[in-house]
Structure 1
Amino acid sequence: MTETQPKPKRSLAGIAGIVAIATLISKVVGLVRQLAIAFAFGVGTAKAAYDISAIIPSFFLILLGGINGPFHSGMVSALAKRKKEDSAPLVEAISTLIGSIFLVVAIVVFIFAPFFIDLLASGLQQTAQGLETRAIAIQQLRIMAPIAWFAGMIGIGFGTLNAADQYWLPSISPLLSSLTLIAGIGIFILTAGSASTNPNYALIGGIVLAFGTLIGTVLQWLAQFWAQRQSGLGRFRMRFVWNDPGVQEVLRVMGPALFSSGMLQINVITDLTFAAFLPNAVAAIASLDYANLLVQTPLGILSNMILVPLLPTFSRLADPSQADQLKQRIRQGILGTAVVMLPLSALMISLATPIVRVVYERGAFKPEASQLVASVLMAYAVGMFVYLSRDVLVRVFYGLGDGDTPFKISMVNIFLNALFDFLFYKPFGIVGIVLATVSVNILSVFVLLYFLNRRLGGLPLFQWGYSILGLASSSILAGTASWFISNAIANLSGFKGFFLALAQTTIAGSIGLVVFALLATQLKLEEVDQFVDRIRQRFSR
């Protein structure tokens, strides 16, 4: 095939399938990683220290290096409109600029690690356990400081490969980080003894967690960089041409998107700061991460399925003459999100305790930890739909070349999240902190819809609202059915412990999904029919 006859673009369904499979594999391995951490450390000092120290590296990895992050969005928006031969110089110029900036950032993080840990969790200095947690967190942050540079490069590579219609490797490369960490924890468990026999158990374990995270990140970058180079999409070459129009185009989207997409991570930092002042600070901090993973696993898979194929489409439909098609794609994104996320939220709320027990309760993770994490999981689950809907709407603005509007909204939301945290954390504890963030995301969706409605000359918001209300009602009924079945299994069956939780999760969860499917199909929604058709096609193969 010649340069003048490029291969056809994949369909949205094809891209979503590739991304879903790759992301599912990465998420499953990520879950195994979290299970290994829970088995080795429970909700103890090493885990809490890692959650604190990893906030900044994770901020960079998710915000800069993550799929649908600002670097990914900026590169896709710019490269989707360019020929392949024009892409490599732009990629090299952006990499040089971003690499220079984040090399300095990594050095600053290393030098001022104690300051950053105290900034994130000053409440730790109130207790002896908190002081030990602080000392371990400082060491971990210094080990992981170089992640700032690698995260920027990963984000640029992710967007570059996606714009070139390559989705498999970028979506599956995060599993390298999880595999490295799992291997490190495995060696640690076999050699370190236990917390009761080894006085340095938490310290050594913390160092293993930090080095495993760093090495895994390096491997992820190497895999993507190799794919870029093989595809002729840039080499490891310094190119100082920052006044180039293409560079300026990327930065126009990337700059505001950096703050807008970072709202969640900035809110995580705010949440952590308030959590450090709770009476059970160490356990509360650890519970946030465990519960968040259970929510982010389905969210990450579905986010990638929906947002990765839609972002280039939003960019291609930015012309006013294609407004009707753009509105249809927006509906597809929002209602497609509702079809999947609303029933999942309802089931997670009704089955939170058995889900946590099945996934985590073994080794150092005790029943009392399950109760704490389950309460946090329920709070997170309330906001799953609005979280992903917000991301869909933000990507519409990016596709329209408008990063300023999401940026301004995010700035206000950061303030609101801090205010809600302050109001909620004392009366409601760690659950109140999570609900504060959920409240902010709900407000974000309404404000984004308001401005998008004005920009596109009107959206059928009431029609969409009625459809979402129908799906929400079906989900509530499904969750209620699951809750009753779960209690019946607990009271009438002879199961106990893990097997009771497994029966509750599988049987009650399955019945809940059947109830939702029966109710949702009566709504006669195009998105429900499309989802059902895809499921049938999968099982008929």
Structure 2
Amino acid sequence: MVHPHPSARSLGRIGLIVGAATSLSKVGGLVRQLALAAAFGIGPAYDAYNYAYVVPGFLLILLGGINGPFHSAMVSVLAKRDRQEVRRLLENVNTMVGTALALVTVALVLGAELVIDVTAPGLALAGKETVRQLAVLQVRLMAPLALVAGLVGLGFGALNAADAFWLPSLSPLLSSGAVLAGLGWLWWQLGTDIGAPEQAVLGGIVLGISTTAGGLLQWLAQLPAMGRLGLGWPRLRWHWRDAGVWEVLRVMGPATLSSGMLYIAVFTDLFFASLLPQTGVAAGLTYANLLVQTPLGIVSSMVLVPLLPALSRLVRAGDGEGFRRQLRWGLMVSIAAMLPMGAMLMVLAEPLIRTIYGHGAFDTRAAELVSALLVAYGLGMPAYLARDVLVRAFYALEDAVTPFRIAAVSIGLNVVLDWGLTGGLTPAGPLLPFNFGAAGLVLATMGVNVSAALSLMISLKRHGQSLPWRPLLRDGLALLLATAAAALAGALTSHLVDWPQGFVGGVLELLVSAGLGLVSYGLLAQHLRVAEAAALLQLLRRRLRGRGDPGPGPEAD
């Protein structure tokens, strides 16, 4: 066997290692984005990069990411085998997958123009020629990521199966470091002209090469660790009839298809973003999404991680009432957390963008675009997390079909809403009288999440687990009232006080304004006696004090 069954103590140690390494990687990713904003803003080099990265980045995240299908397939299959068998199987799978992905790499190089024309047809419009040319060039430069991604995912799966956890979790830091090194070289060469339009081609080339180098570094970093653990060095072995190979492929195939559906919304948004008359939309979406993912990540880790096992235990025990109570807790705590956070992002979007991104090439036009997108993201945050909570309920009920069907329908709805909320774009111009511009893409995602959440709620009835609507609506309206008070307090504090200029003044404005808004929300929500608001505060207190959560739910709080 690759490793013995880990004890509770070792699982806790593994969790600490993974948590620390992941945190370092997240910090590295944040520093990278801040450097990109200062260097390029929403200029053509970085705007083109976001279109060009769609396919290579999709493959890197899907195939090479931790918990991606390649990683998960290797962990599940290799954990059952001894080290000698693991080495042979890994060589076989690497050879087969590597050959297939090498062909994908060649196809991306040769078909780069077709890739951009299909995923971002709007770049062929007048005024976007530079962005299109750069995007095509960057697709070719980043095409090797297709091959590298598969090898990275397989290798990290093998390392995890051998109880090596820190390197897979830390590896994204290598990609961030490579991009930062590329930006450092570019700054050394160009100085303050790094974001100048006439330097866009050089900037785009550096971005493409450094991104590919980062992926290659992730793979190269695996090799010494795999050799040290007896997992072997790269070697071609073509025994495609090996039963283990087909076991890996049987796990990998459906998982890849299912995971891939999650990224179709990204393709759809960028497709319509390219059709908008304004430039820089793809870059703006990336900057705004980064700010939204921080609060979403914090709350989802607090609520979603313990929720699924808790719901699963109640299903096994046949406790329907406990299941509904637990699900209501997860749903309402998520909404209780996301409403004020979303409201603060909406009313403090301008000072937040100015403070975090407002340096270097990130000019007024960039700030206005990203602020508008951030307002739209803030509006949709509660629906995003509510949908994820309800999906966990179906997984606990061992029903993966219903969420899959709803996700499939949501793809079509996302296309319709993207088209409709951006004015009904046609070659002759907008067809509809209302047009939310770039923010319409984010609002479309919100509409899809609301629709999916409602569909999941209704579908719970088939399992005899439907939640009572009246108490949910009553408490939801109470939370909306508290959110309105929070938004008013935050907005008034931000606008009526003469805050100092500069970064320190911006941080002070954000801390005080958001702090007063959140305090107002907490006091009013508790006064209105929404149980989950009090539960959320207790959950936060436990986390801040470093105490373990005894388990989600009313009983735990």
* TM-score class normalised by the smaller sequence: 0.7 to 0.9
Residue 502 of structure 1 corresponds to 507
**Structure 1 stretch displaced more, 472-481 or 290-299:** 472-481
Residues of 1 paired with 2:49 and 2:387: CA distance?
29
Q: Which runs of 5+ in 2 are unaligned?
A: 424-434, 549-557
Relative distance call for 1:124 and 1:501 in structure 2 (3 A) is same
Residue 437 of structure 2: which of 411, 429, 434 is its match?
Answer: 429
Matched, 1:8 2:7: yes
Shift of 1:229: 5.0
Residue 459 of structure 1: which of 439, 446, 465 is its match?
Answer: 465
1:288/1:376 contact within 8 Å kept: yes
Relative distance call for 1:364 and 1:21 in structure 2 (3 A) is same
User: Structure 2 length as normaliser, TM-score?
Assistant: 0.80
Relative distance call for 1:504 and 1:60 in structure 2 (3 A) is same
Residues of 1 paired with 2:456 and 2:75: CA distance?
22
Relative distance call for 1:378 and 1:154 in structure 2 (3 A) is farther
CA distances 1:391-421 after superposition (whole Å, capped 9, x unpaired):
5665777788876554443332222111111
CA distances 1:453-503 after superposition (whole Å, capped 9, x unpaired):
64xx4436349x957985885476356425433433432325245455322
Residues of 1 paired with 2:484 and 2:251: CA distance?
40
Residue 167 of structure 2 corresponds to 169
Residues of 1 paired with 2:363 and 2:501: CA distance?
15
Relative distance call for 1:401 and 1:494 in structure 2 (3 A) is closer
Shift of 1:8: 0.5
Shift of 1:176: 1.2
Shift of 1:519: 5.8
Shift of 1:275: 1.6
1:177/1:216 contact within 8 Å kept: yes
Residues of 1 paired with 2:367 and 2:44: CA distance?
17
Relative distance call for 1:440 and 1:531 in structure 2 (3 A) is same
Residues of 2 paired with 1:145 and 1:349: CA distance?
38
Residue 349 of structure 2 corresponds to 352
CA distances 1:272-318 after superposition (whole Å, capped 9, x unpaired):
121222221x222221111112123444566567767888x69x969
Residues of 2 paired with 1:172 and 1:304: CA distance?
19
- 1:447-486 → structure 2 map (5 Å cutoff): 447-448=455-456, 454=462, 457-459=463-465, 461-462=467-468, 470=475, 473-474=478-479, 477-478=482-483, 480-486=485-491
Relative distance call for 1:397 and 1:208 in structure 2 (3 A) is farther
**Structure 1 stretch displaced more, 213-222 or 164-173:** 164-173
Matched, 1:290 2:296: no
2:546 match: secondary structure: helix
Q: Which amino acid aligns with 1:104?
A: L
Matched, 1:218 2:216: yes
Residue 120 of structure 1 corresponds to 119
Q: Which amino acid aligns with 1:191?
A: Q
Residues of 2 paired with 1:87 and 1:466: CA distance?
54
Residue 269 of structure 1 corresponds to 267
Relative distance call for 1:150 and 1:396 in structure 2 (3 A) is farther
Relative distance call for 1:450 and 1:420 in structure 2 (3 A) is same
CA distances 1:53-102 after superposition (whole Å, capped 9, x unpaired):
1111221122233344333454556567x466576666555544433332
**Structure 1 stretch displaced more, 242-251 or 142-151:** 242-251
Q: Which amino acid aligns with 2:43?
A: G
Residues of 1 paired with 2:304 and 2:486: CA distance?
31
Q: Which amino acid aligns with 2:543?
A: R
Residue 383 of structure 1: which of 367, 380, 385 is its match?
Answer: 380
2:186/2:194 contact within 8 Å kept: no
Relative distance call for 1:197 and 1:363 in structure 2 (3 A) is closer
Matched, 1:192 2:201: no
Residues of 2 paired with 1:77 and 1:144: CA distance?
30
Matched, 1:364 2:373: no
Residues of 1 paired with 2:331 and 2:358: CA distance?
35
Relative distance call for 1:93 and 1:483 in structure 2 (3 A) is farther
Give percent identity, aligned residues only.
Answer: 43
Relative distance call for 1:402 and 1:470 in structure 2 (3 A) is closer
Relative distance call for 1:375 and 1:341 in structure 2 (3 A) is same
Matched, 1:134 2:109: no
Relative distance call for 1:322 and 1:75 in structure 2 (3 A) is farther
Relative distance call for 1:299 and 1:466 in structure 2 (3 A) is same
Rg bigger for which structure? Answer: 2
Bigger relative contact order (CA 8 A; separation at least 6)? 1
Aligned residues: 530
Residues of 1 paired with 2:222 and 2:524: CA distance?
44
Residues of 2 paired with 1:330 and 1:92: CA distance?
45
Residues of 1 paired with 2:9 and 2:390: CA distance?
23
Residue 492 of structure 1 corresponds to 497
- 1:283-432 → structure 2 map (5 Å cutoff): 283-300=280-297, 321=316, 337-338=334-335, 340-388=337-385, 390-391=387-388, 405-426=402-423, 427-432=435-440
Q: Which runs of 5+ in 1 are unaligned?
A: none
Residue 444 of structure 1: which of 421, 445, 452 is its match?
Answer: 452
Relative distance call for 1:429 and 1:3 in structure 2 (3 A) is closer
Relative distance call for 1:355 and 1:115 in structure 2 (3 A) is same
Shift of 1:360: 0.6
Relative distance call for 1:396 and 1:488 in structure 2 (3 A) is closer
Q: Which amino acid aligns with 1:208?
A: V
Shift of 1:507: 1.1
Q: Which amino acid aligns with 1:431?
A: A
Residue 42 of structure 2 corresponds to 43
Relative distance call for 1:169 and 1:187 in structure 2 (3 A) is same
2:284/2:373 contact within 8 Å kept: yes
CA distances 1:120-176 after superposition (whole Å, capped 9, x unpaired):
222222224x11111111111101001112223333445555566654432222111
CA distances 1:335-386 after superposition (whole Å, capped 9, x unpaired):
6755654443232222211111111111111123212101101212333344
1:481 match: secondary structure: helix
CA distances 1:250-287 after superposition (whole Å, capped 9, x unpaired):
5555434434333342212211121222221x222221
Residues of 1 paired with 2:390 and 2:78: CA distance?
21
2:485/2:521 contact within 8 Å kept: no
2:486/2:521 contact within 8 Å kept: no
Residues of 2 paired with 1:127 and 1:338: CA distance?
43
